[in-house]
Amino acid sequence: MNKRFIPKTICLLAILMMTLSGTAFAANAENTHPSAETTQITSTKSDSLSDSLNVINPQSLSRPTSGTNLPYSGSFSGVNGEIFSNYYFYTNGATQFYVDWNVRPDYPIKTYWHINVYEAGTNDFVLSSSQFNTTDYTGNWTTRFYNLDSAYNYYISFVNDGPPSASSLSGNFTARLN
């Protein structure tokens, strides 16, 4: 075997290994961004929303300054802009939580809206759910927010996206860990 061939082979193998390691690292980093997914709740899961009708905590126009354990149930009505949960949620190091929701327009007009997630303490925006509308998303749904930083607690807001002069929104929800 040629003595020049061995160092070149080792060098090429080292480059190949670094390239593959970088690719693997990039793929793993891509999967750690905070994300959300929404699914319709089946009848076996709908108990959390039924319970929230009995435990009504109105929402707030200002950001929360104190926390609460999950599950947390709340409701809101007449929302034309953004309304925050009264409390931030103790996630106890969890990297995900769920929001079960049932949102409806106050008048029968197709209205768009979404959920925002914020870090408690810093009030930094983390992510938004998909945009929903009150025509296609009727009934009970759940949105899972995941790949969150375990060092933080979180709070949510419901945001009415309009269109302008569309209906205000009302609804109820339960935030839970599992």
Domain ranges (residues) in the chain: 1-31, 33-176
Say what the pLDDT of residue 112 is: 96
- E-assigned strand segments in the chain: 35-40, 67-68, 72-79, 82-84, 88-89, 97-105, 112-119, 125-128, 132-133, 141-146, 154-162, 169-176
The answer to whether residue 56 scores a pLDDT higher than 50 is no
DSSP conformation letters of 46-82: THHHHHHTTS--B-BSS---SEEPSPEEEEEEEESSE
Nearest partner of 141 among 174, 167, 113, judged by Cα: 174
- Burial of residue 73 (number of CB atoms within 10 Å: 0-12, 13-18, 19+): buried
> Residue 3 phi/psi, 5° resolution?
-65, -30
> Average pLDDT for residues 128-147, to the nearest whole number?
96
Say what the pLDDT of residue 128 is: 97
Say what the pLDDT of residue 132 is: 97
What's the chain's average pLDDT?
Answer: 82
* CA 83/CA 129 separation, integer angstroms: 15
Say what the pLDDT of residue 66 is: 94
Tell me the whole-structure pTM to 2 decimals.
0.75
Asked if 121 and 153 count as a contact pair (C-beta separation under 8 A), the reply is: yes
> Average pLDDT for residues 86-115, to the nearest whole number?
95
Say what the pLDDT of residue 29 is: 45
Q: Which fold has domain 33-176?
A: Jelly Rolls (2.60.120)
Weakest-pLDDT range from 56-60, 69-73, 143-147: 56-60
Say what the pLDDT of residue 60 is: 74
Asked if 106 and 78 count as a contact pair (C-beta separation under 8 A), the reply is: yes
Residue with the bigger pLDDT between 163 and 149: it is 149
For the range 63-67, what are the long-range contacts, defined as Cβ-Cβ under 8 Å and sequence gap of 24 or more?
63/118, 63/123, 63/155, 64/88, 64/120, 64/155, 67/120, 67/153
Q: Residue 166 — pLDDT band, cuts 50, 70, 90? A: confident
Asked if 82 and 159 count as a contact pair (C-beta separation under 8 A), the reply is: yes
Q: Which residues contact 82 (CB under 8 A, 6 or more apart)?
A: 116, 157, 158, 159, 160
